[in-house]
């Protein structure tokens, strides 16, 4: 983990508020693994104040790193408008990663909307390791505009199934419908390979994926998001309720958690208690 | 913007200073709760370049903290309600202190309790530890024996607490004041009268934010502590109020410091040293940069000893 | 970003509300000291589209205010020390009121004194004027008979002052509370107990800034009042504290409101209406925009009556 | 006075931190007079918070308005980096103006550094009225880099004398030295025309110009600056000490004041008193 200055070398709009930011000067990110993220901050004064966590989409030679983001507020809007040449500060790589692709398991990579990056990078890594046929990606969004980088994903040579809520591309429905269908087919085919699920996307989708995995008895890894200030385990802001101890931290214990570790406490995690606000 | 670490390794005599019974290489410390137990920043900056660091608040027993969400961003600030989560005295001594002992900078341990006795117990145990240069009492904690009112809000209660801790703490004892008061001077006086060596001004200001879409509070405990540049004018005012009142106690200034100029404002207002908090999240190498910026300011203004700046606010014609 | 004025001319029944004995077309007023005497904004926005406006604070005699510099910018905020400059009751009635009487919106007159008697005198004279819909007492003024301590800091003093003014003011009487307190609830209670119709929460927070080059305070009086987005979390917290305490008094929320969502946060925390202050400097047409944004929020959330939002903070599961 | 959205149509760097911002969509500024200013704010979030006062440099047909600014802090730095197409909000025209050029007086336009714009516009206006030979500009700065738009000024056909503190262009010294020299020459020549002085620049320069004018018994107008929040007389923030009443306001009583009105209180204006900070 290092803290360094980088530079936007390309900023490609994908429509629908999605964009790929290509950074140069990211040598310290070499060797980053799928699921890891960075804290990114542009040269934008005090508004917004804190850096923003973004997952790595791809890390290439010569200090190139790609990010995929979607405009949801001020920080991402400013990133989307950063012209090539803009300076950014980067803290990373941060957090843990998905388990590495293996010849002994078939990985179902379940991506919802802008949750794509870690799974994209996982697919890329599987392709590099020559294990593309052991990975399948299930990728869902609200409309076809939410499904991006499809050419690149196909280029990895992994199976890709799409779902959109409005039916504009792929199956009409949620990506979890696609996942259940896949598992039902798998059961019918009684495939030899054990399965593993890795997922990233909206909270509700993740809990649904976790429940499906649980009910099928499949190993499942979820990449979580939480508000972050530091990204390195000091502010204790990114707590999520967990099984093994009261809280785990997305930035240092995650962002990838075994579903079993964070699922049992789903209801606790969304509890609001009215107590005093001491730090 | 990001510094090579070594540029600060060599001691700069012009920055040497003293606050509350401790000598510091320079007047820049990192604030409790924003710098972990130091180790987390070891890869990012030169810890020995710092004036000192203040640990996350320690209590006698480990605490797990509040439910999430615990933080949110506000205009030029953030709210936090971590819930005083920490590893507890035992684990601190066993797991965190060995690193701190060797990190080459001054170590102040921030501590608290939920009862009078817990404070005294915790203070005594921490003061006995080798490698602890001083203690900073966090008195912005709900007193569970007195209906949850913060210990630090009433000068009488505060004075009693300081006195009791002072009796068992032979090391420098600082008290971190709450800004949620109408009379910061009375709080500082209670600390001075009862033997504290310094006051740290300020802790976070209680605030709140609501997500209008869900109509829920943005942090689970509803109220949280506001920190960051937004609070700097309030912090600076309180430092100056205490300094102006000529209370015989040293001041450590805290609140919204982002750069060397901000730090110098606090020195001019009367602080002998400062702590950098939220800014370490925004720019993890900022404490180092701030030290360099203070050095540059001194050079540009012909200040040969940073202590000349303390209380140097120019008034009148 | 900048609105055509007429879009707000037609009354929107969903936004009608009541606060402290006054009915407003919508819950958005402009705050004292940031909207002059109304006329200055006549060329910029449709005054009749506003819920209401609060004038600059008026005292019995004209006042010339503090020496410059009087303002400076801070992180997401500003400090001011205008010194309560105003034209005085007489000139207000003669020169400012005729326009206000015809401007088509509710007019609250903010007022103050430097002694108990001045408050009562000023309140009585203003309440007698035709075209004044209500009064807002600014109690963040130094009491020159009591060593310069603000009237509004001590619940007992405040209660007495409110009682005395209440006795002579037959119109709606609001009291604007100071946030420089450790107990906003006690202040609100003192107002309710003594017959005030509403509390306006909050006035500015005392702050300070220093120009490090000259080592002088950035405003001539050293201390000034902090306003703007920086203070919103504190203001919102105080509104909610008073609302939660179930004190039988209406609340007008003030502090750092920049957009419709900010205003709605205050309503959800328990305010019946809000005031827009510093934002009118940043964007002189903002009050109009905020009203439209509240309207849009209500439409999107299926809220048919804005009063449903008041105190609608969602807690628990 | 209107509040409206405008657009940067050109942003020309002049070196030394100076730049000319050309705005389009400024029809409401038509008819503005030299000395008037606008409050300008870009689309830059909350940092800085308040709009910035800038004098008009020139107002042309079809809603074009030019501003000359110098980078001194965050706001001006952001302006300097605004690319063509950037949206800005404008409140103006604000404030009063210098007296109009007249055939019966000779105007000495004294500009210090970035105080140029109102005097530039005054010179332009004299040229338009065919009164260029009744105006002379004395323009000073620290170095030659602080003297900008010289070609344009010469284009107005008015006499132009320059001064730099380092002697890199024109007289070595301050613009006030140049002014004294001009007045001495004038006295020697016993010129028939009465003189008038109009000045804009750093506070110290203005007081010096005021004193010189006073000692020569010449009418003098100073354009002042003060911190501003509103620009329209409501915040009462931009007070300056004055002769006629305790305070006058730069935004609504000025920015142009007869020197006699603001000079007597120079010392009062810089007094710092330690009182309570009520609004
Ligand atoms: C480990 C991690 C990895 C991430 N990776 C990516 C990524 O690769 N690409 C990407 O586009 N985004 C990613 N995100 C989310 C991204 O950090 C947020 O979208 C971003 O911080 C929003 O900033 P903003 O200033 O644009 O929005 P804000 O103005 O801060 O917020 C806009 C809205 O989004 C909500 N919001 C803000 N932050 C979050 C969050 N962290 N989780 C959920 N809701 C939030 C706010 O409540 C608000 O309603 C990741 C988050 C984490 C924690
Ligand atoms: C009526 C009027 C007309 C003006 N016309 C022009 C113009 O045509 N071109 C131009 O470049 N500037 C002009 N100015 C000055 C300009 O407004 C300031 O330079 C600008 O506001 C600084 O903003 P900033 O964010 O860049 O600097 P900040 O970060 O706000 O400040 C940087 C430094 O400059 C100082 N400063 C800030 N504002 C002022 C001020 N108003 N006066 C003196 N010092 C200040 C600060 O104290 C600080 O030290 C004018 C000011 C006024 C009041
Ligand atoms: C996430 C977080 C955790 C904190 N934890 C503590 C703590 O444990 N003890 C304490 O005394 N102060 C704590 N503080 C307060 C800071 O030390 C500091 O006083 C405050 O943040 C103001 O400084 P700043 O504006 O520079 O951040 C915490 C602040 C933050 C933001
Ligand atoms: C320049 C200025 C002048 C003010 N004058 C008064 C005043 O005369 N009386 C008063 O009660 N409040 C006064 N206020 C306080 C505001 O009405 C408001 O309470 C405060 O600014 C917080 O709101 P805001 O953050 O929206 O500005 C003034 C504020 C400012 C910025
Ligand atoms: S973001 Fe600070 S602990 Fe995780
Ligand atoms: S800038 Fe507000 S009164 Fe002049």
Cα→Cα distances C80→D10, D225, D235, Å: 36, 17, 9
| Helix/strand/coil for B172 | coil
Cβ distance D142 to D166 under 8 Å?
A: yes
Nearest alpha carbon to residue C311 among C239, C248, C238 = C239
Report the distance separating Cα D140 and Cα C169, nearest Å.
60
Report the distance separating Cα C90 and Cα B285, nearest Å.
59
Q: Which domain holds residue B120?
A: 5-65+84-206+228-309
Nearest alpha carbon to residue B152 among B106, B217, B195, B200 = B200
Cβ distance C120 to C60 under 8 Å?
A: no
Report the distance separating Cα C234 and Cα C214, nearest Å.
31
Specify if B74 maps to a domain.
no
Specify if B212 maps to a domain.
no
Which stretch of DSSP H or E encloses residue B19? strand B17-19
Specify if C35 maps to a domain.
yes
> What would the 3-class secondary structure string for chain D be?
CEEEEEEEEEEEEEECCEEEEEEECCHHHCCCCCCCEEEEEECCCCCCCCCEEEECCEECCCCCEEEEEECCCHHHHHHHCCCCCCEEEEEEEECCCCCCCCCCCEEEEEEEHHHHHHHHHHHHHHHHCCCHHHEEEEEEECCHHHCCCHHHHHHCCCEEEEEECCCCCCEECCHHHHHHHHHHHHHHHCCCCCEEEEEECCHHHHHHHHHHHHHHCCEEEEECCCCCCCCCCCCCCCEEECCCCCEEECCCCCCEEEHHHHHCCHHHHCCCCCCCCCC
The residues of C annotated as belonging to the active site are 141
Q: What is the pLDDT of residue C92?
A: 96
Which residues, at least 6 apart from B216, have a Cβ–Cβ distance to it below 8 Å? A272, B210, C313, C314, C315
Q: φ and ψ at A238, to 5 degrees?
A: -95, 35
- Minimal Cα–Cα distance from B304 to chain C, Å? 16
pLDDT band at D212 (very low <50, low <70, confident <90, very high): very high
Nearest residue in chain A measured CA to CA from D43: A78
If you compute the radius of gyration of chain B from its CA atoms, what whole number of angstroms results?
Answer: 18
Cβ distance D77 to D71 under 8 Å?
A: yes
What subunits make at least 3 CB pairs under 8 angstroms with D?
A, B, C
If you compute the radius of gyration of chain D from its CA atoms, what whole number of angstroms results?
Answer: 18
Specify if C259 maps to a domain.
yes
Q: Mean pLDDT, consecutive 10-residue segments, chain B of 317 residues?
A: 41 81 97 95 94 96 93 98 93 96 96 95 97 96 80 95 97 97 97 98 97 97 97 98 97 98 98 98 97 95 95 89
Specify if C76 maps to a domain.
no
DSSP letter assigned to residue B211? E
Nearest alpha carbon to residue B168 among B138, B127, B200, B129 = B127
Cβ distance B197 to B21 under 8 Å?
A: yes
Q: Please, what is the average pLDDT of chain C?
A: 93
* Contact criterion met (CB < 8 Å) for C71 and D229: yes
A279 ligand 3 Cβ < 6 A:
yes
Cα→Cα distances A221→A249, A265, B226, Å: 15, 15, 35
pLDDT band at C206 (very low <50, low <70, confident <90, very high): very high
Q: What is the pLDDT of residue A265?
A: 53
Mean pLDDT computed over A18-34 = 97
* Contact criterion met (CB < 8 Å) for A49 and B228: yes
pLDDT digit string (tens) for A109-167? 999 999 999 999 999 999 999 999 999 999 999 999 999 999 999 999 999 999 999 99
Report the distance separating Cα D47 and Cα D68, nearest Å.
22
Specify if B243 maps to a domain.
yes
**Per-residue pLDDT for D260 more than 50?**
yes
For residue D277, the ligand closest to its alpha carbon is 4
pLDDT band at C164 (very low <50, low <70, confident <90, very high): very high
Chain B touched by D274 (CB under 8 Å) = yes
Report the distance separating Cα C89 and Cα D24, nearest Å.
44
Q: Which of A110-124, C179-193, C278-292, D238-252 is predicted least confidently?
A: D238-252
| Helix/strand/coil for B38 | coil
* Contact criterion met (CB < 8 Å) for B232 and C75: yes
Specify if C212 maps to a domain.
no
Cβ distance C278 to C226 under 8 Å?
A: no
Specify the number of domains making up chain B: 1
How many whole angstroms from A241 Cα to the centroid of ligand 5?
14
Cβ distance D113 to D123 under 8 Å?
A: no
How many whole angstroms from C184 Cα to the centroid of ligand 3?
23
Q: What is the pLDDT of residue D268?
A: 36
Q: Which of A109-123, A185-199, D98-112 is predicted least confidently?
A: A185-199
Q: CATH number of the domain that C263 lies in?
A: 3.20.20.70
Nearest residue in chain D measured CA to CA from B237: D277
Of A46, A267, A274, the CB nearest to C315: A274
B152 ligand 3 Cβ < 6 A:
no
List all residues whose CB is within 6 A of at least one atom of ligand 2. D 37, 48, 52-55, 68-70, 72-76, 114, 117, 225-228, 250, 255
Cβ distance D153 to D126 under 8 Å?
A: no
Q: What is the pLDDT of residue C2?
A: 39
Cα→Cα distances C47→A28, C9, C17, C279, Å: 57, 9, 17, 16
Q: Domains in chain A, please, with CATH?
A: 4-94 (2.40.30.10), 106-262 (3.40.50.80)
Chain A touched by B169 (CB under 8 Å) = no
CA–centroid distance for C311 within its chain = 19
Q: What is the pLDDT of residue B117?
A: 95
- Minimal Cα–Cα distance from D14 to chain B, Å? 26
Q: What is the pLDDT of residue B147?
A: 75
How many whole angstroms from A14 Cα to the centroid of ligand 1?
18
**Per-residue pLDDT for C11 more than 60?**
no
Report the distance separating Cα B247 and Cα C210, nearest Å.
22
DSSP letter assigned to residue C39? G
Question: From the candidates B19, B103, B141, B273, which is the catalytic residue?
Answer: B141
Report the distance separating Cα D143 and Cα D162, nearest Å.
10
Chain C touched by B185 (CB under 8 Å) = no
Chain C touched by D266 (CB under 8 Å) = no
Report the distance separating Cα A131 and Cα C270, nearest Å.
58
∠ at Cα B278 (B106, B10), nearest 5°?
A: 35
How many whole angstroms from A4 Cα to the centroid of ligand 1?
21
**Per-residue pLDDT for C38 more than 60?**
yes
Of A245, A274, A276, the CB nearest to B142: A276
Q: What is the pLDDT of residue A222?
A: 97
List all residues whose CB is within 6 A of at least one atom of ligand 5. A 228-231, 233-238, 249-251
Which residues of chain B neighbour D46 with C-beta distances below 8 Å?
75-76
**Per-residue pLDDT for A273 more than 50?**
no
DSSP conformation letters of C164-207: HHHHH--S-EEEE--S-SS-HHHHHHHHHHTT-SEEEE--PEEE
Mean pLDDT computed over C263-277 = 98
* Contact criterion met (CB < 8 Å) for C234 and B240: no
Residue B125: exposed, middle, or buried by beta-carbon count in 10 A (0-12, 13-18, 19+)? middle
Of B209, B217, B233, the CB nearest to C74: B233
* Count of pairs with CB atoms under 8 A, one residue in A, one in B: 155
- Catalytic, B72? Answer no
Q: What is the pLDDT of residue B3?
A: 37
pLDDT digit string (tens) for D133-155? 999 999 999 999 999 999 999 99
How many whole angstroms from D232 Cα to the centroid of ligand 6?
6
**Per-residue pLDDT for C57 more than 80?**
yes
Task: Give percent of chain C above pLDDT 70.
Answer: 96
Nearest alpha carbon to residue B47 among B315, B291, B296, B303 = B291
DSSP conformation letters of chain A: -EEEEEEEEEEEEEETTEEEEEEE--GGGTT--TT-EEEEEES-TTSS-S-EEEE-SEE-STT-EEEEEE--SHHHHHHHTPPTT-EEEEEEEES--PPPP-TTSEEEEEEEGGGHHHHHHHHHHHHHTT-GGGEEEEEEESSGGG---HHHHHHTT-EEEEEETTSSSSEES-HHHHHHHHHHHHHHHT-SS-EEEEEES-HHHHHHHHHHHHHHT-EEEEE-----SSSSSSS--SEEE-SSSSEEETTTT-SEEEHHHHHTTHHHHT---------
List all residues whose CB is within 6 A of at least one atom of ligand 1. A 37, 48, 52-55, 68-70, 72-76, 114, 117, 225-228, 250, 255
∠ at Cα A71 (A255, A167), nearest 5°?
A: 90
C280 ligand 4 Cβ < 6 A:
no
Nearest residue in chain D measured CA to CA from C2: D4
Report the distance separating Cα D57 and Cα D40, nearest Å.
14
**Per-residue pLDDT for D271 more than 80?**
no
Which residues of chain C neighbour B206 with C-beta distances below 8 Å?
234, 237
A50 ligand 3 Cβ < 6 A:
no
Q: Which of B248-262, C131-145, C282-296 is predicted least confidently?
A: C131-145
Tokens coding D90: 């404008």
Q: Is the dihedral of CA C166, C171, C172, C178 positive or negative?
A: negative
Report the distance separating Cα B178 and Cα B140, nearest Å.
6
Mean pLDDT computed over D215-238 = 96
Which stretch of DSSP H or E encloses residue C286? helix C286-301
Of A1, A89, A229, the CB nearest to B281: A229
**Per-residue pLDDT for A277 more than 60?**
no
| Helix/strand/coil for C270 | coil
Specify if B103 maps to a domain.
yes
Which residues, at least 6 apart from C91, have a Cβ–Cβ distance to it below 8 Å? C62
């Amino acid at each position: 983990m290092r803290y360094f200055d980088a530079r936007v070398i390309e900023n490609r709009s994908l429509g629908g508020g999605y964009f790929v930011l290509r950074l140069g000067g990211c040598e310290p990110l070499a060797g980053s693994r799928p699921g890891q993220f960075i804290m990114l901050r542009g040269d934008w004064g005090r508004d917004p104040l804190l850096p923003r966590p973004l997952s790595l989409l791809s890390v290439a030679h010569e200090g190139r790193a790609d990010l995929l983001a979607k405009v949801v507020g001020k920080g991402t809007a400013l990133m989307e408008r950063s012209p090539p040449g803009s300076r950014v500060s980067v803290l990373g790589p941060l957090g843990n990663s998905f388990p590495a692709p293996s010849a002994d398991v078939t990985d179902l990579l379940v991506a919802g909307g802008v949750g794509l990056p870690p799974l994209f990078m996982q697919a890329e890594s599987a392709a590099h390791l020559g294990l593309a046929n052991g990975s399948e990606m299930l990728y869902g969004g609200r409309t076809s505009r939410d499904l991006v980088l499809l050419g690149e994903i196909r280029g990895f040579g992994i199976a890709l199934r799409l779902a959109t809520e409005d039916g504009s591309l792929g199956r009409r429905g949620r990506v979890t419908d696609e996942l259940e269908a896949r598992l039902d087919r798998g059961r019918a085919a009684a495939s030899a390979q054990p399965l593993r699920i890795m997922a990233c996307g909206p909270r509700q989708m993740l809990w649904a994926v976790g429940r499906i995995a649980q009910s099928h008895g499949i190993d499942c890894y979820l990449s979580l998001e939480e508000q972050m200030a530091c990204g390195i385990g000091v502010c204790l802001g990114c707590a999520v309720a967990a099984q093994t101890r009261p809280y785990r931290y997305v930035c240092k214990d995650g962002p990838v958690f075994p579903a079993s570790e964070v699922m049992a406490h789903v209801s606790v995690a969304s509890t609001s208690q009215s107590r005093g606000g001491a730090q | 913007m990001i510094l090579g670490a070594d540029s600060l390794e060599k001691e700069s005599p012009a920055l040497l200073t003293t606050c509350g019974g401790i000598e510091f290489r320079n007047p820049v410390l990192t604030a409790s709760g924003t710098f972990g137990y130091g180790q987390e920043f070891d890869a990012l900056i030169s810890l020995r370049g710092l004036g000192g660091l203040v640990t996350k608040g320690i209590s006698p027993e480990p605490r797990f903290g509040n439910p999430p969400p615990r933080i949110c961003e506000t205009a030029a600030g953030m709210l936090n309600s971590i819930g005083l989560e920490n590893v507890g005295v035992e684990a601190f001594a066993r797991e965190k202190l060995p690193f701190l002992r060797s990190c080459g900078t001054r170590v102040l341990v921030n501590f608290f309790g939920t009862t009078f006795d817990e404070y005294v117990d915790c203070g005594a145990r921490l003061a006995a530890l080798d490698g602890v240069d001083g203690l900073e009492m966090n008195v912005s904690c709900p007193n569970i024996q007195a209906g949850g009112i913060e210990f630090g809000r009433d000068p009488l209660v505060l004075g009693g607490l300081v006195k009791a801790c002072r009796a068992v703490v032979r090391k420098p004892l600082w008290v971190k004041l709450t800004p949620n008061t109408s009379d910061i001077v009375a709080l500082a006086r209670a600390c001075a009268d009862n033997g504290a060596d310094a006051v740290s001004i300020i802790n976070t200001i209680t605030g709140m934010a609501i997500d209008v879409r869900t109509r829920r509070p943005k942090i689970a405990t509803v109220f949280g502590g506001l920190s960051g540049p937004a609070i700097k004018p309030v912090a600076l005012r309180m430092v100056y109020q205490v300094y102006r009142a000529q209370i015989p106690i040293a001041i450590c200034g805290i609140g919204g410091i982002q750069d060397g100029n901000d730090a110098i404002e606090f020195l001019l207002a009367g602080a002998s040293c400062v702590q950098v908090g939220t800014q370490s999240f925004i720019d993890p190498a900022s404490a180092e940069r701030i030290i360099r910026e203070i050095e540059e300011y001194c050079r540009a203004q012909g200040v040969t000893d940073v202590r000349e700046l303390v209380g140097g606010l120019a008034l009148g014609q």
